[in-house]
Amino acid sequence: MRKALSLLLFSVLLSLGVTASGAEKTIKLGVIAELTGDMPAVGASCRNAAELAVKEVNAAGGLKVGKQKMKVELVVEDNAGKADQSAAAAQKLITQDEVLAIVGPNASRYAIPASEIAESSETVLITPWSTNPKTTLDATTNEPKKYVFRACFIDPFQGGVLAKFAYENLKAKNAAVLYDVASDYNKGIAEVFKEKFEKLGGKVVAFETYTTNDKDFSAQLTKIKDAKPDVIFLPNYYNEVPLQVQQAKRLGITVPFIGSDSWGSPELLTLGGSDLNGYYFSTHYSADNAAPVAKKFIADYEKAYGAKPDDVAALTYDAFGLLFGAIQRSGKVDREEIRASLSTLPSYKGVTGDMKFQADSRDPIKSAVILQIKDGKFNYFTNANP
């Protein structure tokens, strides 16, 4: 009832907005970002890129919707690095701020609860960085959600890329995994890695877990050391990886570590220092090896915020690019029209590569890159497909 009422109210307001000609018209878009909590660097990148994308569009006079140009207004909500607040922020943006669509949250453990709200409120949500398949799948039917999209690849793809990289490029036969069992992203990718690595002929000799916010990994790492792996896979967030690597080194572990796109924040280098030198991880794009369309974004972002955009920033920018494209293509400011337009959008050339939504899927097809950490920098190593 309440949902129906708010939808009714929304459409009334919308029609008022359309009929009252001459007044300043804006399109409201929402962002949910991890501005505080355990991964504030992710949230900051997301907000920065969102503001940059909106500023560019407004500087050009706004989005062309039908026959008129409309400015874009951004509403940024902090989810405080909490699942419940992510859902609450989505609720607030949809019912109170009445945004047309939402970008974010980024981490899967926040994107999944927020996506449930967006789906039930029939509002488009694009998560830039959530790679867990569950984000865009309905929990009960396992069918794709109607209103939830993402701008990145998914974990089965990434897990396969990393398993192949460890097995073929690093020539590892025995791998160990240490992952956060309480976090959707980490758990999902760890399981895929294990499955694919064993399918290739390797062996996962230790499959160890911990819980979010743990700081002491000595018991698990001692077990891993005892299993004598050739490589250790840490599909964990940038704030935990340095602790795990440092503690492993203190226990006398010398084998290389590999990671997933959650490593991709420059904060990793500040927190980890030289301990991470020489290790590899998979991610969405590399600033060194970016397509020509990305060059302008990278330069603008660096000028505005004094740092190279990380993968979250690039994906957020692409999420907005997809959204702007869909709005212009539909020619209407309507939640249902945007959804239809987005799902049938022809190939979009983004900062993180070309992407396109397949029919009956909310996950774009795109490729991954492997980066190597060297001399305090992320360096492009190779392109990768599973």
- Which residues bind to another protein, rule: CB under 8 A? 35-36, 38, 40-41, 181-182, 208-211, 213-216, 218-220, 222-223, 225-226, 239-240, 242-243, 246-247, 249-252, 267, 270-273
Query: For residue 130, what are its two tokens?
Result: 């959530």
Question: What DSSP assignment string belongs to 20-40?
Answer: STTS--EEEEEEEE--SSS-H
Residue with smaller CB distance to another protein, 144 or 242: 242
Element (H, E) at 227: helix 218-227
Closest distance between another protein and the C-beta of residue 271, in Å?
A: 5
Closest distance between another protein and the C-beta of residue 44, in Å?
A: 9
**231-234 and 353-355 strand pairing:** unpaired
Tell me the C-alpha to C-alpha distance, in Å, between residue 138 and each of 263, 280, 333: 28, 33, 26
Question: Which residues are paired to 379 by β-bridges?
Answer: 372
Decide if 287 contacts 295 (C-beta within 8 A).
no
Closest distance between another protein and the C-beta of residue 78, in Å?
A: 10
CA pair distance 342, 324, nearest whole angstrom: 9
Residue with smaller CB distance to another protein, 213 or 383: 213
Which residues fall within 8 angstroms of residue 101, CB to CB, at 6 or more apart?
29, 30, 123, 124, 125, 126, 323, 335, 338
Q: What is the DSSP letter of 145?
A: P
> What's the one-letter identity of residue 83?
A
Residue with smaller CB distance to another protein, 79 or 330: 79
Query: For residue 314, what are its two tokens?
Result: 């690039």
Closest distance between another protein and the C-beta of residue 187, in Å?
A: 11
CA pair distance 146, 167, nearest whole angstrom: 37
CA pair distance 306, 257, nearest whole angstrom: 30
Sign, CA dihedral 144-128-107-194, equals: positive
CA pair distance 276, 4, nearest whole angstrom: 52
Closest distance between another protein and the C-beta of residue 81, in Å?
A: 9
Nearest-CA neighbor of 108 among 148, 160, 162?
A: 148
Closest distance between another protein and the C-beta of residue 370, in Å?
A: 25
Residue with smaller CB distance to another protein, 313 or 370: 313
The rounded Cα 180 to chain-centroid distance in angstroms is 18
Closest distance between another protein and the C-beta of residue 334, in Å?
A: 37
Residue with smaller CB distance to another protein, 166 or 268: 268
Residue with smaller CB distance to another protein, 219 or 291: 219
For tokens 């690095």, the residue is 81
Residue with smaller CB distance to another protein, 305 or 380: 305
Closest distance between another protein and the C-beta of residue 293, in Å?
A: 31
Using DSSP's 3-state secondary structure scheme, residue 332 falls into coil
Closest distance between another protein and the C-beta of residue 241, in Å?
A: 9
Residue with smaller CB distance to another protein, 144 or 264: 264
Residue with smaller CB distance to another protein, 39 or 345: 39
